[in-house]
Amino acid sequence: MKVELINTGSELMLGRVLNTHQQWLCRRLADLGHVVSRQVAVADSGIEIQTAVREALSRADLVITTGGLGPTSDDLTRELIAELLGRKLIPNEAVLAHIENFFTQRGRPRPSKTAVETYVPEDALVFQNANGTAPGLAMKIGDGGWRPASGELHAHGHAAPEPRSRTPAPKWLVMLPGPPRELRPMFDKFVVPLLKQEFATKIFVCRTLLTTGIGESRVQEMVEADLQPLVERGLDVGYCARPGAVDVRLTAGGATAEALVRQGEDVVQRLLGERVFGFDDEEIEQVVVKLLIRQKKTLALAESCTGGLIAHRITDVPGASEVFLGAVVSYANSAKEKFFGVRAESLAAHGAVSESVAREMALGARERFGADFALSVTGIAGPGGGTPEKPVGTVFIALASPAGVEVKKFLNVWDRATFKQVTATQGLEWLRRTVSA
Amino acid sequence: MKVELINTGSELMLGRVLNTHQQWLCRRLADLGHVVSRQVAVADSGIEIQTAVREALSRADLVITTGGLGPTSDDLTRELIAELLGRKLIPNEAVLAHIENFFTQRGRPRPSKTAVETYVPEDALVFQNANGTAPGLAMKIGDGGWRPASGELHAHGHAAPEPRSRTPAPKWLVMLPGPPRELRPMFDKFVVPLLKQEFATKIFVCRTLLTTGIGESRVQEMVEADLQPLVERGLDVGYCARPGAVDVRLTAGGATAEALVRQGEDVVQRLLGERVFGFDDEEIEQVVVKLLIRQKKTLALAESCTGGLIAHRITDVPGASEVFLGAVVSYANSAKEKFFGVRAESLAAHGAVSESVAREMALGARERFGADFALSVTGIAGPGGGTPEKPVGTVFIALASPAGVEVKKFLNVWDRATFKQVTATQGLEWLRRTVSA
């Protein structure tokens, strides 16, 4: 089975927007055993979109398009594909009702332009959009093979798909809306069941072990020799470095896949131990919140150089309010004094980025919020503010708990945004190990 | 002139890595007047790479590939393209010297695997890699039109490029290494001058106006009639919805491009007024920090449902420490009382998500931090916690300033992550308008 993706959008071709659909959809499809063989991005133009869809349908069993289903004048995908396939667009009452309801809930009148979104190609499956107005669409194409609606579309010197000697299996064309917050839940709710129903499931097992605290080459050095016998039996091992974390990806196909991946997982767990903080799509903040809820413990934060990022990551986890009391982002020194009782002498003697200030921030936050655990971070994010003794990237992290307070020093030499992420992950990782201990 | 990109890499097709080359190269090329018409990603496999290159060369005047030039077993692009074009690979002394020097500088022996990188297709331009070992390569293809090396490559039912009746202009194939820190400086140093020399410079102007506060359809309704005369003269208009914001993109080419885009910008500015918060790559938090710095005013935040996100966005802006004093993320009610002096009676009578608590949070934060402006946010992010009177998505935002305090109510019905982004943008937008007033 061949799968291709087509991302439409002039903003992609002008480089104004980062294409995140490619990675997300490729990942989800691989997890279902379908590795995408080609991904194409084209502008919102008739000939480009129709050519790309026609070519993809000539090669693949499943073609997924993204974008161009909205209400504005450059949203052309629905119309162009209906034309290409020779299907009429028919108004759909359920979609209209859904869109009316969307605006009613938000207390706004329905813009007349959204009318175009209620037109659906004949015989298409409709995926209602839980987070927007434009529905997704899926069409089964031909039990006798796909034929384009019109010979005029054979531009660019390409031949039409070869006539097939046997009756081919039907193909599916799935059209998803462009905004990620609309596309992703729609894919999981509607497309995954469709794929399971329409295409023979292939056994493909993928397990990602999420590690933190050591670099990519070191991770590989630690595990590759012991994984080698499994690799020889068909296990595929990949390493991927992310800010502050390294993923170890184990994949295999076929009848022995499950066993191979499980044995690989055992090897990695044994060798990396507690450096493995989670699996697959888990985030370290999800692990931390889960542990705190399980142990009925509360958390407070005192953030300086991470600027609220740790609180933001913690509060992205549903249910965080059970255990997270709050944070103070004390950017100014006066805020460190006022909110945590950090002593003016500590600030004067050691500077805001110092072991003693980190310690006083953590103790102050624990006491003021009345929390079981308090994490504090103070450092120099850059690009300015470094000195020879404390270069850009210097960070002190302190953790106050019922057992007392400890401080660690790090040097995170990265651009500002990566610095914040790496530092937040270090703090969360320390918290994870302390809470789970 | 047509330009196409080909990104190679099995990790892309497995969705384990985000493809950032597409956006970066498309943007750079558009700035040079060359809008990419198609971008393709394929796995590191012989048939996929050769098919993609062959097809791209049949359509485009310039084809740029990324990836597959390194020393490991899955780096196949150089060999596959040389084979496709019927060019020999010849050892290159300058590349060998560069690689030897690369390792000498780092005090390491040259790994024997790098030998493959010293082989270069005959008649190729060589771009030495300032940040790695594998050189970039560029080949001028045919003054008599491009012909594939072998008929065997016509797989997949595609026809060969049509024979041309006139002598076509030569095409260029450029091959760049995969790591962004190698590709980007190499593109700027070598490819930009090559393009300027080989292809007539085209005038292309792109301006994006960033708006917030109204939806995508409404934005278009407000501007399209007045933009129409400019569209008829060649202005291209695009709309792109992001969480809490809508981009209006104006592009044009040719001699009148500058004037057309400027006139379009005037129309959008006149009709959307202060809903336009910025231009091109600006973020609303950058605009807010810039305004505060210019006016020498300070800011404090009291965040509940946004959980630190506003502070995180503000502190992503270099220089934020000049104006940002800090934030309290008061997730627990006790934190609202303790840090802002929110009265227990207000919490009891109206609940934490209420106009009076938002007001007391903003006033408390302004006073405790000693700031000129204080923004507070309290609401229900969901998925749990809604009631019939205060459904999930209910938000109160208050802004305290030297002029007093005001509160606004919003209903942001989104998933948790989008809710936080949209709410943060609403607060920042209010701040922007107030500070700039």
Model confidence pLDDT, tens digit, residues A61-78: 999 999 999 988 889 999
Helix (H, G, I), strand (E, B) or coil at A415: coil
**Per-residue pLDDT at B73:** 66
CA distance B234 to B255: 11
CB contact under 8 A, A157 and B161: yes
Q: Could you tell me which chain A residue has the CA closest to the CA of B38?
A: A42
- Judged by CB atoms closer than 8 Å, whether chains meet at A29 and B23 is answered as no
Nearest by CB to residue A308, choosing from B28, B29, B308, is B308
Are the C-beta atoms of B165 and B124 separated by less than 8 Å? no
Return the pLDDT at B165: 47
Residues 376-405 of B with CB under 8 A from A: 381-385
Low-confidence winner among A17-21, A97-101, B145-149, B169-173 (lowest mean pLDDT): B145-149
Is B158 touching A (CB cutoff 8 A)?
Answer: yes
Does residue B261 contact residue B204 with C-beta atoms inside 8 Å? no
Cα separation, B11 vs B14, in Å, equals: 5
HEC profile for A7-23?
A: EECHHHHCCCCCCCHHH
B276-279 and B204-212 as β-strands: parallel, antiparallel, unpaired?
antiparallel
State the Cα–Cα distance between residues A296 and B419, nearest whole angstrom: 27
Confidence of residue A113 (pLDDT cuts 50, 70, 90): confident
Pairing state between β B394-401 and B373-379: antiparallel
Task: Count other C-beta atoms under 10 Å from residue A157's C-beta.
Answer: 12
Rounded to the nearest angstrom, the minimum Cα separation between A344 and chain B is: 16
List the Cα angle B122/B124/B127 in 5-degree steps.
135
CA pair distance A372, A391, nearest whole angstrom? 33
From the CB of residue A24, how many other CB atoms can be counted at a distance below 10 Å? 17
Question: Residue A207 is inside which H or E element, if any?
Answer: strand A204-211
Residue A130: the pLDDT is: 93
* Burial of A207 (C-beta count, 10 Å sphere; 0-12/13-18/19+): middle
Interface test with B, best of A5, A8, A23 (most B CBs within 10 A): A23
Nearest to A244 by CA among A327, A313, A295: A313
Among the listed residues B297, B281, B271, B244, the one whose alpha carbon sits nearest the alpha carbon of residue B429: B244
**In the structure encoding, which two tokens stand for residue A29, read together?**
């499809």
What's residue A93's pLDDT?
Answer: 95
Query: Which residue bears the tokens 């691989």?
Result: A30
Assess contact for B337 and B344: CB atoms under 8 A.
yes
Instruction: Name the nearest CA neighbour of B2 among A160, A149, A37, A51.
Output: A51
**Alpha-carbon gap: B117 to the closest alpha carbon of chain A (Å):** 21
Q: Are A307 and B315 spatial neighbours (Cβ–Cβ below 8 Å)?
A: yes
How many CB atoms neighbour CB A391 within 10 A? 13
d(CA B371, CA B431): 13
| Rounded CA separation B435/B437 (Å) | 6
Inter-chain contact B308–A320, Cβ cutoff 8 Å? no
Residues A121, A147: contact at Cβ < 8 Å? no
B37–A13 C-beta distance less than 8 A: yes
CB–CB of B159 and A162 under 8 A? no
Domains (range + CATH), chain A: 3-198 (3.40.980.10), 204-279 (3.30.70.2860), 284-436 (3.90.950.20)
Give B 65-124 residues with CB within 8 A of chain A.
none
Q: How many residues does chain A have?
A: 437
Whether residue A206 contacts residue A249, with contact meaning beta carbons closer than 8 Å, is answered with: yes
Q: Which of B17, B39, B318 sits opposite A383 (nearest CB)?
A: B318
Mean pLDDT across chain A, nearest whole number? Answer: 89
Average pLDDT for residues A14-28, to the nearest whole number?
A: 90
Chain A / chain B CB contacts < 8 angstroms? 314
Per-residue model confidence as pLDDT tens digits over A198-238: 987 677 888 889 999 887 667 888 998 999 999 999 998 87
Phi, psi of A198 (to 5 degrees): -95, -25
* A7: β partners: A41, A66
**Binned average pLDDT, 10 residues per bin, chain B of 437 residues:** 92 83 91 90 90 94 93 83 95 94 82 87 94 92 56 40 55 92 92 90 86 90 96 91 87 92 97 93 94 97 97 95 95 88 91 95 95 97 88 96 96 89 95 92
Task: Band the pLDDT of A167: cuts 50, 70, 90.
Answer: low
Q: Which tokens hold the place of B304?
A: 């509940």
Amino acid at A291: L
**B298 backbone φψ class: left, alpha, beta (φ>0; ψ -120 to 50):** beta
0.90 exceeded by the pTM? no
Q: Nearest CA to A137 among A113, A121, A116, A115?
A: A121
Give the C-alpha separation, B435 to B432, whole Å. 5
Hey, is A249 helix, strand or coil? strand
Give pLDDT, residue A165. Answer: 46
B418: nearest CA partner in chain A = A181
From the CB of residue A293, how many other CB atoms can be counted at a distance below 10 Å?
Answer: 14
Would strands A245-253 and A324-330 be described as parallel, antiparallel, or unpaired?
Answer: unpaired
| Token output for B328 | 């309290």
Omega prior to A193 cis, within 30 of 0: no
Helix, strand and coil content of chain A, in percent to the nearest 5, comes to 45, 25, 35
Is A156 in the B-facing interface, judged by CB distances under 8 Å?
A: yes
Please tell me which of the candidates B23, B40, B327 has its beta carbon nearest to residue A308.
B327
**CB-based contacts of B64, cutoff 8 Å, min separation 6:** B3, B4, B5, B6, B25, B174, B175, B176, B191
Q: Cβ–Cβ contacts within 10 Å for residue A60, how many?
A: 21
Residues 6+ apart with CB under 8 A from B159: A157, A158, A159
* Average pLDDT for A151-178: 61
| Interface predicted TM-score (ipTM) | 0.76
What is the C-alpha separation between A11 and A21, in angstroms, rounded?
A: 14
Q: Which DSSP state fits A408?
A: E
pLDDT at B163: 46
Strand partners, B238: B249
Where are the alpha helices (H) located in B296-332, listed in sequence order?
Answer: 309-315
**Which of these, B44, B55, B38, B37, lies nearest to B13 by C-alpha position?**
B44
Q: What is the pLDDT at residue B143? A: 54
CA angle B344, B349, B355 (to 5 degrees): 90
Q: What is the pLDDT of residues A351-377, one digit of tens each?
A: 999 999 999 999 999 999 999 999 999
pLDDT of residue B164: 45
Assess contact for A345 and A283: CB atoms under 8 A. Answer: no
**pLDDT, position B29:** 92
CA distance B112 to A260: 32
pLDDT at A161 over 60: no
Q: Which of B26, B334, B368 sits opposite A338 (nearest CB)?
A: B368
At A376-431, the pLDDT tens digits run 999 999 888 889 999 989 999 999 999 999 999 999 877 788 899 999 999 999 99
- What pLDDT, on a 0 to 100 scale, did the predictor assign at position B158? 43
Say which residue the tokens 């809306």 belong to. Answer: A177
Q: How far apart are CA B299 and CA B297, in angstroms?
A: 7
Q: Beta partners for A238?
A: A249
